């Protein structure tokens, strides 16, 4: 009996040590992404340029037309889409760091460590998703200065869940694509070709009701659509699909993209 208890205790200690090692790996890579973001002031300011331009140029430019059409305040409608855009652009382009780290040798040093490549990929993805959420929150704060008002404080906290899920989806997508490329310029071209349609066909700039059948089908297949709709549901209280549907769809897509991204990342050859 005593031997059995000792064996169970040893198994528990070994499992606890293994779990601690895994969490340390994920935490260190997550923290690295945050430190790189915080230390780059130019990167922070540059990432805010396009969202702020959209807020002012489209928000005030199309606002009167939107109001005349009986759709209400365009700033209220536009801000969730611009926040989603900020998260999308930031998250997807985290994939380029894989190519950068590969060229400068850091990725090789990481991959030869005695840890799972899945945990390495997960730490990088969570770090990228966290940074993308921070950028989304900054855009939200800027939006309140120009007149945007969330429906509730609870809605703001719920919107963080949508931001984080969307960020995981697109960070994992960027990781999956970058894992198959070695050229930064090729990655940038592919991303520009991919993310602009994702953004413009997500309903970020226009309502999803009464669309032509072909466009309606595309928007339903676009994961960005559910991120935008989920942010509208939590921030302004209006939704096309429903907040629960948006959450479930994003969660499912996040699991699929994480699986694909981790598989392709595990096949990287140095």
* pLDDT tens for each residue of 2-27: 555 555 565 656 666 667 777 777 78
Q: What was the pLDDT predicted at 123?
A: 84
Q: What is the mean pLDDT of residues 124-146?
A: 88
Least confident of 164-178, 186-200, 212-226: 186-200
In this model, does residue 236 exceed pLDDT 80?
A: yes
108 within domain boundaries: yes
Contacts of 27 (CB under 8 A, 6+ apart): 123
Q: What is the mean pLDDT of residues 198-217?
A: 84
Contacts of 194 (CB under 8 A, 6+ apart): 92
In this model, does residue 249 exceed pLDDT 80?
A: yes
In this model, does residue 131 exceed pLDDT 80?
A: yes
17 within domain boundaries: no
162 within domain boundaries: yes
End-to-end CA distance of the chain: 50
107 within domain boundaries: yes
15 within domain boundaries: no
117 within domain boundaries: yes
Q: What was the pLDDT predicted at 72?
A: 66
Given pLDDT bands bounded at 50, 70 and 90, which one contains residue 71? low
Q: What was the pLDDT predicted at 188?
A: 72
13 within domain boundaries: no
**b/e map of 242-251 (b: 16 or more CB within 10 Å)?**
ebeebbebbe
**37-58: pLDDT as tens digits:** 777 776 667 777 778 887 877 7
Q: What is the mean pLDDT of residues 174-181?
A: 82
Number of compact structural domains in the chain: 1
259 within domain boundaries: yes
Q: Which domain holds residue 245?
A: 25-266
**119-130: pLDDT as tens digits:** 888 888 888 888
Cα–Cα distance for residue pair 30/24, rounded to 1 Å: 10
In this model, does residue 252 exceed pLDDT 90?
A: yes
């Amino acid at each position: 009996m005593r031997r059995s208890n000792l064996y169970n205790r040893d198994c528990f200690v070994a499992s606890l040590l293994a779990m601690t090692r895994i969490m340390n790996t994920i935490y260190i890579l997550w923290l690295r992404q945050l430190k790189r973001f915080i230390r780059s002031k130019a990167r922070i300011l540059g990432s805010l340029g396009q969202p702020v331009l959209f807020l002012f140029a489209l928000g005030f430019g199309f606002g009167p037309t939107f109001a005349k059409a009986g759709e209400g305040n365009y700033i209220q409608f536009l801000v969730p889409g611009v926040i989603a855009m900020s998260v999308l652009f930031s998250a997807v382009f985290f994939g380029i760091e894989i190519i950068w780290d590969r060229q400068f040798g850091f990725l090789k040093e990481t991959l030869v460590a005695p840890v799972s490549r899945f945990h390495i990929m997960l730490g990088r993805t969570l770090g990228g998703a966290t940074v993308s959420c921070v950028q989304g929150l900054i855009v939200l704060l800027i939006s309140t200065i120009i007149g945007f008002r969330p429906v509730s404080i609870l809605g703001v906290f719920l919107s963080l869940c949508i931001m984080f899920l969307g960020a995981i989806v697109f960070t994992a997508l960027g990781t999956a694509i970058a894992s198959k490329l070695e050229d930064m310029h090729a990655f940038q071209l592919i991303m520009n070709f991919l993310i602009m349609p994702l953004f413009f066909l997500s309903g970020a700039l226009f309502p999803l009701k009464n669309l032509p059948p072909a466009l309606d089908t595309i928007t339903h297949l676009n994961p960005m659509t559910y991120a935008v709709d989920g942010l509208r549901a939590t921030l302004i209280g209006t939704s096309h699909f429903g907040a629960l549907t948006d959450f479930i769809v994003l969660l499912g897509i996040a699991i699929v993209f994480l699986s694909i991204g981790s598989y392709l990342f595990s096949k990287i050859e140095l």
